Amino acid sequence: MLEVDLNSLEAALAAGAPLIDVREADEFAQVRVPGAVLIPMSEFVARLGEIPEAETVYVICAVGGRSLQVAEYLQGRDINAVSVRGGTMEWFQSGREVETGEV
């Protein structure tokens, strides 16, 4: 399984699963899922050591394209990663809680 929906992400976050946001810093500051950790796709390979050890690592971007690429990359390195289908924009549009501003 390479992609999950927002309901699956919401349940995983409630259980303490890690969420990596691979958008750029300016996008992250505009709106993000609470608890997401920023590791931009442009810096991802260099920051691979920052990926937390977990049963499943959730990866999110704006709408799902970049996160899917990163999830595939991580799976190729034996890290169980899944992309969040619809991304941050769908999360925001669904009315779920978000955070904004610089970190």
What is the strand order of the sheet 19-21 is part of? Answer: 3-4, 81-84, 57-60, 19-21, 37-38
End-to-end CA distance of the chain: 31
pTM metric for this prediction: 0.96
Q: What's the rounded mean pLDDT across residues 32-47? A: 96
pLDDT of residue 1: 73
Asked if residue 24 has pLDDT above 80, the reply is: yes
Chain segment 41-89, per-residue pLDDT in tens: 999 999 999 999 999 999 999 999 999 999 999 999 999 999 999 999 9
Residue 61 token pair: 């971007």
pLDDT of residue 5: 97
3-class SS at 26? helix
User: Element (H or E) spanning 81, and its range?
Assistant: strand 81-84
User: DSSP class of residue 99?
Assistant: B
